[in-house]
Amino acid sequence: MNERKRLLKRYQAHHDRKMAEHRAWAATGYDPQHRPPLEPYPDELRGLQCCATTRAGTPCKRTDIYRNGRCKYHGGKSTGAKTQEGKARQLAGYRRWLENKRKNEAATA
C-alpha cells in the first residue's frame, strides 16, 4: 500500500473517531462535563493534499480535504437533481433565469 493510501486510511479513521465522539457528546445535550478531551491533530496528517490531477496535468495541492481525501473541486459533490421532480424544478428555474436575462438584454438594447 502506498504512503498516500495509508495516510488516507489513518485520516478517515481519525475523522470517524472524532465524529463518534461528537455524536456521543451531542446525545448528552452538549453537557460540558461529557465533552470529549481535546487531542492534538496527528502531525503526519497535517498538510495532506488532494493530489487529484488538474487540467494542467499537475497534482492539486489543496489541503482542505474531505473524508474521501479530495478537495471541494475534486471531491465528487452533488452533480444535480436525481428525481424527475428535482430535474423539472431545475429546468423551470433555468427557464425563468433565461427569460429574465433576455428581458434585461432587450431593455438595455
The pLDDT assigned to 47 comes to: 92
Q: Is residue 39 part of a domain?
A: yes
Does a structural domain hold residue 76? Answer: no
Predicted TM-score (pTM) of the model is 0.64
Is 13 part of any domain?
A: yes
pLDDT digits (tens, 9 = 90+) for 3-59: 999 999 999 999 999 999 999 999 999 999 999 999 999 999 999 999 999 999 999
Q: Which three cell numbers stand for residue 59?
A: 497534482
Inside any domain, residue 55: no
Domain boundaries, position 30: 1-44
The answer to whether residue 5 is domain-embedded is yes
Confidence of residue 108 (pLDDT cuts 50, 70, 90): confident
- Domains held by the chain: number: 1
DSSP code per residue over 53-78: B-TTSSBP------TTS--TTTS---
